[in-house]
Structure 1
Amino acid sequence: MPPALLCPCSSGLRYRLCCAPYHRGEAEPADAEALMRSRYSAFALREAAWLWKSLHPDHPDRARPEAEVVRGLRAYAQSHQFPGLVVMDRRPPDERGVAQVLFFAKVFEKGKDRSFVECSDFRHDGTGWRYVSGALKLPGELPAPPETLTLATFPK
């Protein structure tokens, strides 16, 4: 990706100043939201190795062979488009060290809308923030437009 282009995570920053340092292994995201944004960008840019690295050791995919998981992530990224991300809410780490981010991921597959809202849990692993799990809802399952939700109003 040319360095002048905006980051796919919708931060408004140029990619080289936003998620690129994470994808290249030059830096770790400072918080859960930055990690989540870097994961969305990694899907958009097919950075499957970063998607693997950003999984917390407690994530179920970490029990599977890395090469298998990376192949699956790469295939998903190649068959989908990722036109934008909206972060609606975030919660700092609780007493268990779990931080949360609520976001609306715009995703399309062969022209079909596959967008979703997710409330994701993140935990620091001693090196950096990592994705633990998420509760996903399709827009049609929500009580309100996705962009209006908060962590308090997201249906569990």
Structure 2
Amino acid sequence: MSTSAAPAGPPAISSPSPHSPDGFQLGIGSGWDRVEEQKQHRVRYRRGGITVLVVLGRDSVGDHGSDPLAYQASEPELASFRADPHGRAGDVRRIDIGRTTSLTESTHTLTDVTGSLAYVRNRVLILGDRFQLIQVLGPATRREQADRVIA
């Protein structure tokens, strides 16, 4: 998976390789099953027990502030982690790129709905005035595979 700037285009939901009007584009390789979640403005890509969750431009800096670390504390996609009393966060870091772009990366373990230990790699990027979110989710036993997907 790779990320790059691209010309403005239609919202992520309408494109097989998601890109936002802000110019963020995500390359998804072949062989992934694509599932749109229109109400949540997200797209899930699934293959071999790993899920890539993409939310491009749903939330604004105006509504959530300009700190991607603070945004993670309320983003809906991490709600199950926050609700799990045994959930753990690790490798949390913020990267500032120039004066206008910030990126946050973090990893999380939590108990999923089946009672199994799950792993989440979360990446949030502010581009323009919108949050771009990429999560890779899978069983904790497949952490290395999930990490390779987002590397």
So what's the TM-score if we normalise by structure 1?
0.38
TM-score (normalised: structure 2): 0.39
> Which structure has the highest strand share of the two?
2
Where is the helix percentage greater, Structure 1 or Structure 2?
Answer: 1
